[in-house]
Amino acid sequence: MSALLDTIHGWSITAVFLRLLLAMLVGLIIGLERDYRNRGAGIKTHILVCLGSALAMIVGQYLIVQFPSDVSAAARLGAQVISGVGFLGVGTIIVTGVNEVRGLSTASGLWACACMGLAAGIGFVEGTLITLVLIVITYIVIGKADMKLKQLFSRECNLYIELSEDAALRDFFSLLHRRHVKILHFEQGTDGSLISATLLVELPKRGKRDEFIDYLKEHECISFVEEL
């Protein structure tokens, strides 16, 4: 353990890889907790932000190691890029008409790409490529695994429903009560005779999300339902 810590504290390609891997692991753990509580920022968002910030610090150390006599100018330019792209990323985050937050992964991905651009621009090829591989793994492998784990272990489910009349809303509440489904959050909207609602529910058992949604789709009182 002591030898591993000494390696991470030093300056080498192995140290760079281990630091970025540690950042990925930290983002994964925190993202899992947030994801299973149905928060907007989940696994991918936390990993990308953690990777980007870790790479930014490593690039700072690379500047000191490679250009000890002239660090300040490049460091100032890099800081402007990191803060500026943060504002660009905010523009990709939207709240849809059904109160669903979209674009967090895209925004964090843009910011992580900016950090990779800084690394590539200063000639830090190894850090750029290692981060690229970890980000691709995050998007493709961890993203798919996250969806599977949600279906298996999460009891919470975000829904958007459309009902044709007030009586259908009462029937819907009765349906949830009979299935022992707890409503954690409910927000209703109307558009003429159409009643729409977004709600967060807690199912009585894990791994029943798809079965529950299919059951709702077959019910007469619900004209439309989808998971958010």
Instruction: Write out 109-178 in H/E/C secondary structure.
Output: HHHHHHHHHHHHHCCCHHHHHHHHHHHHHHHHHHHHHHHHHHHHHCCEEEEEEEECCHHHHHHHHHHHHH
Distance of alpha carbon 37 from the chain centroid:
12
Check whether 98 has a pLDDT greater than 50: no
Percentage of the residues of the chain whose pLDDT score is greater than 90 = 10
Provide the terminal-to-terminal Cα distance of the chain, rounded to the nearest Å.
Answer: 43
pLDDT digits (tens, 9 = 90+) for 151-202: 666 777 778 888 877 667 788 888 888 888 888 888 877 666 677 888 888 8
Number of alpha helices (DSSP H) and beta strands (DSSP E) in the chain: 9, 6
Average pLDDT, the chain: 79
CA–CA gap between residue 226 and residue 223 (Å, rounded): 11
Highest mean pLDDT among 38-47, 66-75, 211-220: 211-220
Instruction: Decide if 43 contacts 31 (C-beta within 8 A).
Output: yes
Domain limits, the chain = 2-153, 156-227
pLDDT of res. 85: 67
E strand or H helix at 135 = helix 125-137
Check whether 210 has a pLDDT greater than 60: yes
Q: What is the mean pLDDT of the segment spanning 43-72?
A: 84
Q: Which of 11-15, 57-61, 93-97, 130-134 has the lowest mean pLDDT?
A: 93-97
Distance of alpha carbon 49 from the chain centroid:
9
pLDDT digits (tens, 9 = 90+) for 128-154: 999 999 998 988 888 777 777 766 667
- What fold does the segment set 156-227 form as a domain? Alpha-Beta Plaits (3.30.70)
Instruction: Decide if 156 contacts 199 (C-beta within 8 A).
Output: no
CA–CA gap between residue 97 and residue 223 (Å, rounded): 18
Using the structure block, give the residue that is written with the tokens 């950090």: 115
Q: Residue 181 phi/psi, 5° resolution?
A: -100, 125
**Cut 0.75: pTM above it:** no
Instruction: Decide if 93 contacts 104 (C-beta within 8 A).
Output: yes
